[in-house]
């Protein structure tokens, strides 16, 4: 098998957080549809697998059954980690928030921020998870983009900064103004597959200019070069603006806000672009701190392929085709299939027989995994969720301390 080619800076480990009914499932399905349609796996990564989008289309509706689903967009490997939307699973939510690097928060454009979103948002705050927001259901009766954004301020104490504004709402919703490009996004077919950039409609130019100025003044607060361009009345180049939005998002200073209607296939490809442009790669984030179980000393676990292997199991599932799989997040190092790992919680050795990336409709078998990967391991017999695996013979580390479950919050 050829060496995998996705660079570590082209990996995005993301979760989709949403209140029940906001459209998480629909958005995820559309993401898998568009990524499957656009790419043949073999052309992007290790040259072995192919994905037929017609097959994927057939499987729509049962697409996201996996704890982590891999797809590709603009040569980036996007691993979507299932984030339980229900507050009763607080421990599971927290564990999934620890293994992802960034998240999309999906809101209903009519309902705005709903109570359950507040709980998950606070948990994401605790782990400083960089986020972008997707105001979904712009086609729904009562959809109000500005009110939904304001509800993020009022209820989440967030700093939402629109990078898009909708063109129309409810049944009149028929496009998006991209405030970075200062162009209108229009769709040309009912499936929303074909889209392109056009001039901003005349009646929206003033609002778009105000919104762009708001965006620029916010990023200028933490970007001196942009502040200077702004004060001198000079144009801010698109790439420069994108980089500043990304930096602000990674520092948890701002939450870029996008909009669309997943149900009507509007806005999903620009959302994929935003995942690539604004959410972090594994190497963008600070090292994870673990504990050496023997000495209680802190251990810094860096996202370095050359360092010793460290991973955490976060979900165990039974796959209909391969049996028991253990989903792990690799924090450091690399590991070949067929090798042994040491479970630091149990003090036992386990053999890794197969390594798989789970896609919407197939499994992609790989020979080795490395820092930043989210992957399913076949062969682990006794490892449970929350347990840390290291290279056999390397230093021990525990990533998740034993903690009492949080009280269940009922709303």
Q: Answer yes or no: is 25 a known binding residue.
A: yes
Tell whether residue 139 is a contact of ligand GDP (CB under 6 A). yes
User: In this chain, which of 23, 36, 166, 175 binds ligand GDP, going by CB under 6 A?
Assistant: 23
**Smallest separation (angstroms) from ligand GDP to the CB of 32:** 13
Q: Answer yes or no: is 207 a known binding residue.
A: no
Tell whether residue 117 is a contact of ligand GDP (CB under 6 A). no
Q: Answer yes or no: is 19 a known binding residue.
A: yes
The residue written with tokens 């996004």 in the block is 185
Tell whether residue 21 is a contact of ligand GDP (CB under 6 A). yes
Tell whether residue 329 is a contact of ligand GDP (CB under 6 A). no
User: In this chain, which of 12, 95, 137, 396 binds ligand GDP, going by CB under 6 A?
Assistant: 137
Tell whether residue 192 is a contact of ligand GDP (CB under 6 A). no
**Smallest separation (angstroms) from ligand GDP to the CB of 331:** 29
Tell whether residue 18 is a contact of ligand GDP (CB under 6 A). yes
Tell whether residue 359 is a contact of ligand GDP (CB under 6 A). no
Q: What is the DSSP letter of 337?
A: T
Paired with 95 in beta bridges are none
Q: Answer yes or no: is 139 a known binding residue.
A: yes
User: In this chain, which of 89, 222, 230, 263 binds ligand GDP, going by CB under 6 A?
Assistant: 263
Tell whether residue 110 is a contact of ligand GDP (CB under 6 A). no
Q: What is the DSSP letter of 344?
A: T
Instruction: Yes or no: say if 196 and 183 are a contact pair by the CB < 8 Å rule.
Output: no
- State the DSSP string of 225-291: HHHHHHHTTPPPPHHHHHHHHHHHHHTTS-EEEEE-BTTTTBSHHHHHHHHHHHSPPGGGSPPEEEE
- State the DSSP string of 146-207: HHHHHHHHHHH---EEESEEEES-GGG--EEEETTTTEEEEE-STTS--EEEEPPPGGGHHH
Q: How far apart are CA 380 and CA 403, in angstroms?
A: 23
Q: What is the DSSP letter of 364?
A: E
Q: How far apart are CA 126 and CA 104, in angstroms?
A: 16
Q: Answer yes or no: is 359 a known binding residue.
A: no
Give the range of 133-141, 244-252, 275-283, 325-333 binding ligand GDP by CB under 6 A.
Answer: 133-141
Contact residues toward ligand GDP (CB under 6 A) are 18, 20-26, 136-137, 139-140, 261-264
Positions at the binding site for GTP: 18-25, 82-86, 136-139
């Amino acid at each position: 098998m050829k060496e995998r080619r996705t660079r570590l800076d082209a990996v995005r480990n993301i979760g989709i957080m949403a209140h029940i009914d906001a459209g998480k499932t629909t958005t995820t399905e559309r993401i898998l549809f568009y990524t499957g349609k656009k790419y043949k796996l073999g052309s992007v990564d290790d040259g072995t697998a192919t994905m037929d989008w017609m097959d994927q289309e057939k499987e729509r509706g049962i697409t996201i059954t996996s704890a982590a689903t891999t797809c590709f967009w603009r040569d980036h490997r996007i691993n979507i980690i299932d984030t339980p939307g229900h507050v009763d699973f607080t421990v599971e939510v927290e564990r999934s928030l620890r293994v992802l690097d960034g998240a999309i928060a999906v809101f209903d454009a009519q309902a705005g921020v709903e109570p359950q979103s507040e709980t998950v948002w606070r948990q994401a705050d605790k782990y400083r998870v960089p986020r972008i927001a997707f105001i979904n259901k712009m086609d729904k009766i009562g959809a109000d983009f500005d009110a939904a954004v304001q509800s993020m301020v009022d209820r989440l104490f967030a700093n939402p900064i629109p990078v898009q504004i909708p063109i129309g709402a409810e049944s009149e919703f028929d496009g998006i103004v991209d405030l970075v490009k200062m162009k209108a996004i229009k769709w040309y077919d009912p499936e929303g597959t074909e889209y392109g950039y056009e001039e901003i409609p005349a009646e929206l130019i003033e609002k778009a200019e105000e919104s762009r100025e708001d965006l620029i003044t916010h990023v200028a607060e933490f970007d001196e070069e942009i502040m200077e361009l702004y004060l001198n009345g000079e144009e801010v180049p698109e790439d420069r603006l994108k980089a500043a939005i990304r930096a602000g998002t990674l520092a948890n200073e701002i939450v870029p806000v996008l909009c669309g209607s997943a149900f009507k296939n509007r806005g999903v490809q620009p959302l994929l672009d935003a995942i690539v442009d604004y959410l972090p790669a594994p190497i963008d984030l600070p090292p994870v701190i673990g504990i050496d179980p023997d000495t209680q000393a802190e251990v810094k676990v860096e996202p370095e392929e050359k360092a010793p292997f460290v991973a955490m199991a976060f979900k165990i599932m039974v796959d209909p085709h391969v049996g028991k799989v253990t989903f792990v997040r690799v924090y450091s190092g690399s590991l070949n299939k067929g090798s042994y790992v040491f479970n630091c919680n149990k003090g036992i050795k386990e053999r890794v027989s197969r390594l798989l990336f789970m896609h919407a409709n197939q499994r992609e078998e790989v020979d080795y995994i490395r820092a930043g990967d989210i992957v399913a391991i076949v062969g682990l017999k006794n490892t449970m969720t929350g347990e840390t695996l290291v290279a056999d013979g390397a230093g021990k580390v525990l990533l998740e301390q034993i903690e009492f479950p949080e009280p269940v919050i009922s709303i």
